[in-house]
Amino acid sequence: MRGKRHICVVTGSRAEYGLLRWLLEELRDDPRVELQLCVTGTHLSFAHGETWRTIVDDGFTIDAKVEMQLASDTGVGTAKSVGLGMTGFADAFARLSPDIVVVLGDRFEVLAAAQTAMALRTPIAHIHGGESTEGLWDEAIRHAVTKMAHLHFVAADSFRDRVVQLGEDPTRIFVTGAPGVDATERVDIPDAERLERELGVSLQPFFLVTYHPVTLADGDPTIAVQELFAALDRFPDHRVLVTGTNADAGGARIQTAMTRFAAARGSRVRVVDTLGQRRYLAAVRAAEAVVGNSSSGLIEAPSLATPTVNLGDRQRGRLRADSVVDAAEHVGDIEAALHEVLDPGFQAGIVGMVNPYGDGNASQRIAHLLVDQPLDGILMKRFHDLEVPSCAPS
């Protein structure tokens, strides 16, 4: 028996790493843990900024790089990426021999890692299970990973109930809060003036825009983006800071549309591939509103008391703080939602609100559970049936 517990954490994107970073620090600094870090997905992509370098700059050792991100903007490319990822994870996990593999969320990189760990009879811990994102195939991935996982770290009581509903043992489900909220407490967030200096632009006042593909939607993904742009043009006194899309199918077309939008509007609009967590949180805090369909508008933005205009169905099913206003992906609805969140009365009403995603201590809770939970016999899972009230015969 090894003296330390070998805990392997998988990260596949800049956004996910921002959620995992504080957990990684907790595990790295625990003398009972041998932290192993597998980096994959867009971290290794030149087109997405090779964000693995940020991980190294933050002081972490990368134990394995798993190539899986193909230069494709289609479902076929995504499916091939999953297959390529499983091949790479098989080699990485066989070499590292972790005691447990930790994955977060619902992306296809996570699916590849979880399937591989399952095949190698390695226990899996899953963060952010039980949530619902009805506009994405990620919904199915999240629930599939829940069924493969052996420990579950969920963000809220309602998500715990859903994991139980999926047949998981309640004694292996822990309500920890969302790790993304931790960053709002731990990061030294620059003020607006410093953010402007670092980006080399004048921002105030501005909207922070992030828009990702809705993978279950039919048709051209840029149509909704054009509606968003048209709405933003109705606020000519506001500058716009746009962050890059993720690697889902349709992302490249959205990114091209955003770049063209910015080019036609000069210094009023700035597109950046990645801000990094520190500058991203600075932008969230300084913005008049977060606009788009990223989960950060629902999870992190409320802790910084910044309003969110959440577009479309991508985040349908998640919890909402009082600072979140939903809007259909039509110019009139988006414009109305922006006017609502800019109203001084609305902004005064969200000061001091409670974030339903937790208190900023999720990473510490998860780290302790990863170390303390016994793993002997954990691979044998029994389906937890719910009690169904019997119906008397008529």
* Cβ pair 105, 10 in contact under 8 A: no
Least confident of 68-72, 167-171, 224-228: 68-72
- Whether the predicted pLDDT of 393 surpasses 80: no
- Whether the predicted pLDDT of 135 surpasses 70: no
How many domains are contained in the chain? Answer: 2
In a domain, 394, yes or no: no
- Whether the predicted pLDDT of 250 surpasses 70: no
Query: What is the C-alpha R_g of the chain?
Result: 21
Query: What does the pLDDT read at residue 139?
Result: 85
pLDDT band at 260 (very low <50, low <70, confident <90, very high): confident
Write the single-letter amino acid at 348. A
Average pLDDT rounded to a whole number, residues 109-113:
95
My answer on whether 154 and 131 are in the same domain is yes
Which tens digit of pLDDT belongs to each residue from 264-303?
888 898 888 778 888 999 999 999 999 999 989 999 999 9
My answer on whether 160 and 287 are in the same domain is no
My answer on whether 24 and 124 are in the same domain is yes
Query: What does the pLDDT read at residue 390?
Result: 62
pLDDT band at 179 (very low <50, low <70, confident <90, very high): very high
pLDDT band at 200 (very low <50, low <70, confident <90, very high): confident
Query: What does the pLDDT read at residue 77?
Result: 83
Query: What does the pLDDT read at residue 45?
Result: 83
For the domain that residue 39 is a member of, what is the CATH number?
A: 3.40.50.2000
Q: Could you tell me where the DSSP H helices lie in the chain?
A: 14-28, 52-57, 75-96, 108-119, 138-148, 157-165, 179-186, 192-199, 222-232, 251-263, 276-286, 296-299, 331-342, 344-349, 362-372
Which tens digit of pLDDT belongs to each residue from 68-77?
877 666 778 8
Average pLDDT rounded to a whole number, residues 79-90:
93
Query: What does the pLDDT read at residue 244?
Result: 75
pLDDT band at 262 (very low <50, low <70, confident <90, very high): confident
In a domain, 214, yes or no: yes
pLDDT band at 248 (very low <50, low <70, confident <90, very high): low
Mean residue pLDDT across the chain:
90
My answer on whether 233 and 139 are in the same domain is no
The tokens for 94 are 């066989």
* Cβ pair 309, 325 in contact under 8 A: yes
| More confident: 1 or 205 | 205
- Whether the predicted pLDDT of 215 surpasses 70: no
| More confident: 1 or 374 | 374
My answer on whether 274 and 247 are in the same domain is yes
In a domain, 129, yes or no: yes
In a domain, 390, yes or no: no
My answer on whether 20 and 164 are in the same domain is yes
In a domain, 41, yes or no: yes
Percent of residues, the chain, with pLDDT higher than 90: 66
Query: What does the pLDDT read at residue 238?
Result: 95
Whole-structure pTM value: 0.84
My answer on whether 104 and 15 are in the same domain is yes
My answer on whether 162 and 242 are in the same domain is no
My answer on whether 127 and 205 are in the same domain is no
- Whether the predicted pLDDT of 43 surpasses 60: yes
Which tens digit of pLDDT belongs to each residue from 305-336?
999 999 998 888 889 999 999 999 999 999 99
In a domain, 380, yes or no: no
3-state DSSP assignment of residue 66: strand
My answer on whether 102 and 156 are in the same domain is yes
My answer on whether 210 and 92 are in the same domain is no
* Cβ pair 11, 102 in contact under 8 A: no
Query: What does the pLDDT read at residue 272?
Result: 86
In a domain, 244, yes or no: yes
In a domain, 269, yes or no: yes
My answer on whether 157 and 220 are in the same domain is no
Full residue range of the structural domain in which residue 200 is found: 189-349
